[in-house]
Amino acid sequence: MAERDLASAGPLAIMFDIDGTLLTTDGAGARSWTWAFKTLYDVTADIGAFSEDGWTDPDVGRATFRGALGRAPTDRELARLLAAYLERLPYEVETSDGYRVLPGVREVLERLRHEGYLMGVVTGALEAAAHMKLARGGLNGFFAFGGYGSDSPKRDELTRRAVERASATLGRRIDGDSLYVVGDTPKDIQAGHAVDAVAVGVASGHYSVDELREAGANIALGSLEEPIPGLE
């Protein structure tokens, strides 16, 4: 674990990534993108062929459009594509047989809420998409603020936006050891460090504990069933 004083004043706010950290939709987002491209352009588009874990929704849309259609979308084309994706997403989330809230998530969120931590989300998803995904698992009510892919195409910047909203909510600047960022990819770890937060990696997605440590996680856990140092 990267060296850091985790026993100082203690955190005030904790921000969680969604996909792979709090829950899995078992491909609902990818199926929604496929539906959007087929409906609008009559092409079969696989976002996995053109994007990577941790990308924001607008970047996924742009890259897949370019890969499937051979050119960049216009502003109006991107807007129509995002709208079609959001139109389909609620259906795909609700009918996904593999949708589940990941182990330990509900328990840790309940405890942190009871103990008075301010919680938010940081995600590459559009704001509307993020809340669609959280809704089926009954998780929306835990989060008072967030940073989203609709705030910025850059993970670092959307995480800064979330910090600004958390700070506005509490009426004081939040940073350093008073802020935890929790996610399952190296991009989440990078974003945490960009706002000088304690970066917590959770190996509940495609990356192992060792890979998250190598990416610079201050804390690396196998799942959210494990206690988070500083939040026990």
Q: What CATH number did the domain enclosing 48 receive?
A: 1.10.150
Where is the domain boundary, 95, 112, 143?
95
- What's the average model confidence in pLDDT over 95-101? 98
For residue 9, the model assigns a pLDDT of 56
What is the rounded distance in angstroms from the CA atom of residue 133 to the CA atom of residue 18? 8
Residue 180 has φ and ψ, to the nearest 5°, of -115, 140
**Are 136 and 62 part of one and the same domain?**
no
**Are 20 and 33 part of one and the same domain?**
no
Report yes or no on 152 lying in a domain.
yes
Distance, CA of 89 to chain centre: 16
In tens, the pLDDT along 127-142 reads 999 999 999 999 999 9
Question: Scanning the structure block, which residue is given the tokens 């504990």?
Answer: 209
Report yes or no on 116 lying in a domain.
yes
Q: Taking Cα atoms as reference points, which of 194, 162, 193, 198 lies closest to residue 180?
A: 198
Quote the number of domains for the chain: 2
In tens, the pLDDT along 16-54 reads 999 999 999 999 999 999 999 999 999 999 998 888 777
In tens, the pLDDT along 65-90 reads 999 999 999 999 999 999 999 999 99
For the chain, give the mean pLDDT: 93
**Are 184 and 125 part of one and the same domain?**
yes
**Are 182 and 216 part of one and the same domain?**
yes
Pairing of strands 13-16, 118-122: parallel
H helix or E strand, kind and range, residue 146: strand 145-147
Where is the domain boundary, 44, 78, 95?
95
Structure tokens at 3: 């060296």
> Ramachandran region of residue 27, left (φ > 0), alpha (ψ -120 to 50) or beta?
left
Where is the domain boundary, 95, 115, 147?
95
**Are 59 and 162 part of one and the same domain?**
no
**Are 60 and 105 part of one and the same domain?**
no
Tell me whether residue 116 is exposed, middle or buried, using C-beta atoms within 10 angstroms of its C-beta: 0 to 12, 13 to 18, 19 or more: exposed
For residue 2, the model assigns a pLDDT of 46
Report yes or no on 232 lying in a domain.
no
**Are 117 and 60 part of one and the same domain?**
no
Report yes or no on 226 lying in a domain.
no
What is the rounded distance in angstroms from the CA atom of residue 155 to the CA atom of residue 149? 8
**Are 155 and 205 part of one and the same domain?**
yes
Q: What CATH number did the domain enclosing 125 receive?
A: 3.40.50.1000
Cα–Cα distance list, 154 to 44, 63, 82 (Å): 27, 14, 17
Residue 183 has φ and ψ, to the nearest 5°, of -160, 175
Residues forming beta bridges with residue 24, ordered by sequence position: 100
What is the rounded distance in angstroms from the CA atom of residue 194 to the CA atom of residue 184? 16
Report yes or no on 49 lying in a domain.
yes
**Are 106 and 199 part of one and the same domain?**
yes
Residue 80 has φ and ψ, to the nearest 5°, of -65, -40
**Are 21 and 58 part of one and the same domain?**
no
Domain housing 173: 13-25+100-221
For residue 61, the model assigns a pLDDT of 95
Q: Taking Cα atoms as reference points, which of 154, 155, 149, 151 lies closest to residue 58?
A: 149
**Are 133 and 193 part of one and the same domain?**
yes
| Residue 204 clears pLDDT 50, i.e. is over it | yes
131 and 140 Cβ atoms separated by less than 8 Å: yes
Sign of CA dihedral 218, 220, 223, 229: negative
**Are 66 and 157 part of one and the same domain?**
no
